[in-house]
Structure 1
Amino acid sequence: MARIAVLTSVAVLASGCWAAPPPQSSNATGERPPAGGPQRGGSLRIALDLDPGCLDPAVPSFVPSITRNIADSLTDQDPDTGKIVPWLATSWTVNKNATAFTFTLRTDVTFSDGTRFDADVVKRNFDVASELGAQLPAAATALAGYSGTTVHNDKKLTVRFNQPNIGFLQASSSRALAILGPATLEKSPQQRCQGELIGTGPFVLKSYVPDRGATLVRRKGHTWGSAARANRGAAYLDRIEYQVIAEAGVRSGSLTSGQVDIIDVAPQDEARFETGDTYLASHVQAGVVSTFHINHDHPILREKAVRRAMLIGINRKQIVDTVFTPRHPVATSVLSHTQPEYLDLSAALRFDPDSANALLDKAGWVRGPDGIRERAGQRLELDIILRGMAPVAELAQQQLRRIGIDLSIRQLTSAEYREAEDNGRFALSFSQQSRPDPDILRAMYSSRDINPYGVAPSKLDDILEAQAAESDPQARTTLVHKAQRYLIEQAYTIPLYEGVQVHAASTRVNGLIYDMSSTHIFTETWLSS
């Protein structure tokens, strides 16, 4: 669901990135940039196509870079190597069966309201996330099986689980488990969504107005940046100003006229920004690909024949060729090809409308006078909820109609979309989940986890639990392959294309980087005069 993040600082990375190479810098000591290096000051102006929806890092957001830059995590994940590296924690150990994780913390960190960071506040973060559960879905997923945290002293704690959770170390680097201040932990989930957040990050949230934008300001004296960053000190920018501009043409005009510095780029506009005073940046996202998620509690979609007909009745290549550019790969599995545990299932996802029609015929769905199928007086009608991306849904709508399925499209606001998903008021939803660890599959598709799509109990649950407990990388990959194969065989989900961040930036913008989860980190970003 993440939409805004900008680019990485090298030409080609293992994580699937491309960008024009901007300057690099290193500054781990605070306010003063290196001589002859990045310039300090200025406001970076970003035009968004969507409102964030919710600013709480423990909740999925359409604009994750806002809270990623105001709240740090215990660890970070190096975008080049995937290795977990120090951030708020300086070191850690994991017991043999991945049920206990002991962290040693930095002692020089404070929250932006002056409160000291220590082991007690980390424990409170995890306790609150566990207690609130589904109200903080991203955090609750990362803490599956959480049984409590033992504080040994101010700088040492052990996080415990009642079942193996091999993915927790990676999760400790995620935005979902960003550490928030004691004042924030007293707030309601609704207040946190609206921006009542205190973090330890390099920026502070100054303001947020839903559907209009947000402003971040640089925090002076920030000297505890991630070991994955070249600049571990204070950010170079004074401010970051986000503005919601829904219309693609207006966003493009705002960039070319110099009113903003970075924009979301519609596929049809990519070519115009590759030369002159702008450049393009793109990044293939790790995690679950852009997908039509199936509500398994929907009466029609409990039927495997209908799900499989949709899976093979959608022409993914036509969608990509029509709506996107060659930067956007067609989905060939549930996971992105940049994920180490990816399994190529392109044969099972091959467009096959004849077989799709045969499946529906055999299941007793008969075409009516208008071409839409019926059975026992019920029409084969489904709806999909969207937040943007109408061209994708409209093309899928045409394709499904050819096999006798009537798909209606519901465009919603960020708040409406979240409410509809939370309450199961949809047949299909459309999103991409960026987390560079295969345990994201357990969070999304295990009936024993949060289970946001109502998947029924099956042997998939055992496979996903086994991969979460497997410490041997090769054995874990084998289990993740089994999970991907089962998801496609049972048509539990409908992968479409791999999520790619594509943005255009002014050439005065330098030092833009992504983290491993495809979220933009602004500590190294600076503006040429």
Structure 2
Amino acid sequence: MRRAVFALLTVVLVAGCASPDGEATGTATSIVIGAGSEPENLNPILGYAPDGAAKIFDGLVTRDASLALRPALAVELPTASPDGLTWTAKLRADITFSDGTPVSAQDVVFTYKSVLDKKVNSTIASRFDALADVQVVDQHTVTFTLSYAYAPFAEQLTLGVVPAARFAGTDINSAPFNTAPVGTGPYTVAEWRKGDRLVLRANDRYWGGAPAIKTVTVVFVPDDNARATRMAAGEFDGTVLPPKLARSYDTKTGYRVIQNPSADYRGLSLPSELLLTSDPRVRRAINLGINRQAMIDAVLAGSGKPAATPISPHLKSWYDSSATFAYDVTEAEKLLDEAGWRKGADGKRTRDGQPARLPVLYPAPDVLRKELALAAASDIAKLGIDAPAEATTFDIMLQRQKEAASIWGGGEPYDPDTAAYTLLHSRYAGQPGYVNMSLYRNSTVDTALDLGRRSLDPAVRKQAYLDFQRAYVADPGWAFLVFLDHTYVLRDRWTGQETQVEPHDHGLVHAVWWNLERWTPKS
């Protein structure tokens, strides 16, 4: 879960109004986008846009509005052998990179082998844990060999393919390509001024048809309130904002407020190595003591659903509606007492002279996470636990993962494996980066997640994820709070928008403009 995944990316479109340079765009074929955070690089190998909709790149497959996989660079959906250990992908013969060179099987093999290369600092290598090898069969055919059957492997083939020749003689980690890439997608990179903006130009040779929107300028504005202010000033045509900030546009002529469903959660990691929260009874008590519906009503203005696990209700066939936490302060108090954390005359809990204390951290620029952190901290404090809310950075949140709770974000609507495995499996406890941030360990959860990952039998997988959710709520490692609806304000200038259930990452690559290359200006 990269910083670009956990920061709430906010994107703003401009057409026919003042640009950040003070010049009028004058046409709905030029769009300016303001993003809440900036990608570290634009290289799929290193982790850029692994779930597709990358604008600059295409994967072997893509997703339609219903999230069904469709062929992209592949001529048809990749196929698996009966044992699930070999996947074959056949490439289209008519696709070139934006520099005119043809896409070949060698490019596909280079892309995936580089992700697996231990010398490469790829943030998505854990996604390909099952991948043992990739081989060229012929110029337009590739085979993937897995070390174990992995049912949702095709979901990972949305990763953008890069031209191998561009990396000859270079270190992938520091290659010029990382900021000036060449891809097969509907847009090319014209300019990237780090810390300021990214300018994309339409690829008029795009195999899927030239985009009608010819210029996309992404302006990086990390502060929620700053983006809201610039929107109100008329500088932007659209943005994704916390719901309460978006509501002022409900009755404003010429704008649309769009509320899209998502599998994007906000959750509070509960450090399993902290004395207080090392006890499963305490972690369960905190979950029972948090009023999630009040958060949805007050913080999200009704735009969301309660969360108990990382499995979203939008993962319909996998979601267990019984695996939830009721708001039950009485039961929470009872569990804390049983764990030995008892209230004194001042209402504060202690055990053996040790005060019950759980700092709640959140990233400073994120208004929504701040309000959720304050609400969660308030509910926890009512249980007799000192829970100061502290503004900080993602890096500090990681550094303090053993001693403090933090408001994180994540979630995907594609498969329960990608939603839960690296987040909660014990093999990732203590590993660097945005995996298992609470250092959670539960052997029953591990067994269910492993079975769900490795079985090819849909019935077995379904039961495994039901078992996972039930085992998890009995021994939670987080207090998952809410699944957000993503709320956007957009000038009513274009047609072609389609609703898609969104993942956590909803900046340039996903969100209401996930299919921006197919938008057309209104006449």
* TM-score normalised by the chain length of structure 1: 0.81
Describe the shift of the 1:85–1:65 C-alpha distance in structure 2 as closer, same or farther (beyond 3 A).
closer
Describe the shift of the 1:292–1:420 C-alpha distance in structure 2 as closer, same or farther (beyond 3 A).
closer
Kept in 2: contact 1:385–1:428 (CA 8 A): yes
1:493 corresponding residue in structure 2 = 478
What is the CA–CA distance in structure 1 between the aligned matches of 2:236 and 2:304, rounded to whole Å?
Answer: 25
What is the CA–CA distance in structure 2 between the aligned matches of 1:364 and 1:258, rounded to whole Å?
Answer: 57
Kept in 2: contact 1:194–1:208 (CA 8 A): no
The residue type equivalent to 2:261 in the other structure is V
2:80 corresponding residue in structure 1 = 94
Worse-matched range after superposition: 497-506 or 209-218: 209-218
The residue type equivalent to 1:111 in the other structure is F
Kept in 2: contact 1:97–1:469 (CA 8 A): no
The residue type equivalent to 2:79 in the other structure is T
Q: Deviations over 1:212-255 (max 9, x none)?
A: 332222122011xxxxxxxx212111111222334545434533
What is the CA–CA distance in structure 1 between the aligned matches of 2:175 and 2:485, rounded to whole Å?
Answer: 31
Shift of residue 86, structure 1, vs aligned partner: 0.4
What is the CA–CA distance in structure 2 between the aligned matches of 1:364 and 1:445, rounded to whole Å?
Answer: 27
What is the CA–CA distance in structure 1 between the aligned matches of 2:409 and 2:192, rounded to whole Å?
Answer: 24
What is the CA–CA distance in structure 2 between the aligned matches of 1:130 and 1:397, rounded to whole Å?
Answer: 40
Matched, 1:308 2:308: no
Gaps of 5+ in 1: 8-38, 224-231
Any residues of structure 2 matched to 1:379-458 within 5 Å, and which?
Answer: 379-387=355-363, 388=366, 389-413=369-393, 417-418=394-395, 420-421=397-398, 424=401, 427-429=404-406, 430-440=408-418, 441-448=420-427, 451-453=435-437, 454-456=439-441, 458=443
Matched, 1:222 2:199: no
Shift of residue 443, structure 1, vs aligned partner: 2.6
Q: Tell me, what secondary structure is at the counterpart of 2:88?
A: strand
Any residues of structure 2 matched to 1:157-176 within 5 Å, and which?
Answer: 157-173=142-158
Q: Tell me, what secondary structure is at the counterpart of 2:102?
A: coil
1:280 corresponding residue in structure 2 = 257
Worse-matched range after superposition: 338-347 or 460-469: 338-347
1:13 corresponding residue in structure 2 = none
Shift of residue 264, structure 1, vs aligned partner: 1.9
Kept in 2: contact 1:184–1:196 (CA 8 A): no
Q: Deviations over 1:239-294 (max 9, x none)?
A: 112223345454345335442121122322333323411001122113x6332233
Kept in 2: contact 1:255–1:506 (CA 8 A): no
Any residues of structure 2 matched to 1:151-190 within 5 Å, and which?
Answer: 151-173=136-158, 177-182=159-164, 183=166, 186-189=170-173
Kept in 2: contact 1:98–1:469 (CA 8 A): no
What is the CA–CA distance in structure 2 between the aligned matches of 1:309 and 1:133, rounded to whole Å?
Answer: 43
Kept in 2: contact 1:40–1:526 (CA 8 A): no
Out of 36, 42, 46, the position equivalent to 2:29 is 42
What is the CA–CA distance in structure 1 between the aligned matches of 2:401 and 2:249, rounded to whole Å?
Answer: 40
Shift of residue 475, structure 1, vs aligned partner: 3.2
Describe the shift of the 1:60–1:311 C-alpha distance in structure 2 as closer, same or farther (beyond 3 A).
farther
Matched, 1:328 2:313: no
Matched, 1:212 2:196: yes
Shift of residue 155, structure 1, vs aligned partner: 0.9
The residue type equivalent to 1:376 in the other structure is D
Kept in 1: contact 2:283–2:476 (CA 8 A): yes
What is the CA–CA distance in structure 1 between the aligned matches of 2:204 and 2:399, rounded to whole Å?
Answer: 39
Shift of residue 47, structure 1, vs aligned partner: 2.8
2:466 corresponding residue in structure 1 = 481
2:97 corresponding residue in structure 1 = 111
Shift of residue 55, structure 1, vs aligned partner: 4.7
Shift of residue 379, structure 1, vs aligned partner: 2.8
Describe the shift of the 1:253–1:208 C-alpha distance in structure 2 as closer, same or farther (beyond 3 A).
same
The residue type equivalent to 1:216 in the other structure is L
Matched, 1:237 2:213: yes
2:518 corresponding residue in structure 1 = 524
What is the CA–CA distance in structure 2 between the aligned matches of 1:143 and 1:98, rounded to whole Å?
Answer: 15
What is the CA–CA distance in structure 2 between the aligned matches of 1:133 and 1:370, rounded to whole Å?
Answer: 55
Out of 57, 61, 83, the position equivalent to 1:71 is 57
What is the CA–CA distance in structure 2 between the aligned matches of 1:391 and 1:266, rounded to whole Å?
Answer: 10
Describe the shift of the 1:457–1:192 C-alpha distance in structure 2 as closer, same or farther (beyond 3 A).
farther
Kept in 2: contact 1:436–1:516 (CA 8 A): no
Q: Tell me, what secondary structure is at the counterpart of 1:89?
A: coil
Gaps of 5+ in 2: 13-25, 504-509
Describe the shift of the 1:486–1:512 C-alpha distance in structure 2 as closer, same or farther (beyond 3 A).
same
What is the CA–CA distance in structure 1 between the aligned matches of 2:39 and 2:315, rounded to whole Å?
Answer: 26
Describe the shift of the 1:322–1:117 C-alpha distance in structure 2 as closer, same or farther (beyond 3 A).
same
The residue type equivalent to 1:178 in the other structure is G
Describe the shift of the 1:165–1:134 C-alpha distance in structure 2 as closer, same or farther (beyond 3 A).
farther
The residue type equivalent to 1:308 in the other structure is R
2:240 corresponding residue in structure 1 = 264
Kept in 2: contact 1:513–1:524 (CA 8 A): no
Shift of residue 197, structure 1, vs aligned partner: 3.5
Kept in 2: contact 1:142–1:168 (CA 8 A): no
Out of 128, 146, 149, the position equivalent to 2:134 is 149
Kept in 2: contact 1:99–1:163 (CA 8 A): yes
Out of 181, 186, 191, the position equivalent to 1:202 is 186
What is the CA–CA distance in structure 1 between the aligned matches of 2:120 and 2:287, rounded to whole Å?
Answer: 29
Describe the shift of the 1:342–1:426 C-alpha distance in structure 2 as closer, same or farther (beyond 3 A).
farther
Shift of residue 487, structure 1, vs aligned partner: 1.5
Kept in 1: contact 2:11–2:35 (CA 8 A): no
Q: Tell me, what secondary structure is at the counterpart of 1:292?
A: strand
Q: Tell me, what secondary structure is at the counterpart of 1:79?
A: coil
Shift of residue 528, structure 1, vs aligned partner: 3.9
Shift of residue 117, structure 1, vs aligned partner: 1.9
What is the CA–CA distance in structure 2 between the aligned matches of 1:306 and 1:269, rounded to whole Å?
Answer: 35
Describe the shift of the 1:312–1:457 C-alpha distance in structure 2 as closer, same or farther (beyond 3 A).
closer
The residue type equivalent to 2:436 in the other structure is P
Kept in 2: contact 1:301–1:427 (CA 8 A): no
Kept in 1: contact 2:266–2:482 (CA 8 A): yes
The residue type equivalent to 1:444 in the other structure is L
What is the CA–CA distance in structure 1 between the aligned matches of 2:377 and 2:270, rounded to whole Å?
Answer: 15
1:122 corresponding residue in structure 2 = 108
Kept in 1: contact 2:133–2:144 (CA 8 A): yes
The residue type equivalent to 2:257 in the other structure is L
2:18 corresponding residue in structure 1 = none
What is the CA–CA distance in structure 1 between the aligned matches of 2:133 and 2:181, rounded to whole Å?
Answer: 24
The residue type equivalent to 1:436 in the other structure is Y
Describe the shift of the 1:196–1:465 C-alpha distance in structure 2 as closer, same or farther (beyond 3 A).
farther
1:18 corresponding residue in structure 2 = none
Worse-matched range after superposition: 50-59 or 345-354: 50-59
The residue type equivalent to 1:199 in the other structure is G
Q: Tell me, what secondary structure is at the counterpart of 1:164?
A: coil
Shift of residue 306, structure 1, vs aligned partner: 2.0
Give the fraction of aligned pairs with identical amino acids, expressed as a percent: 21
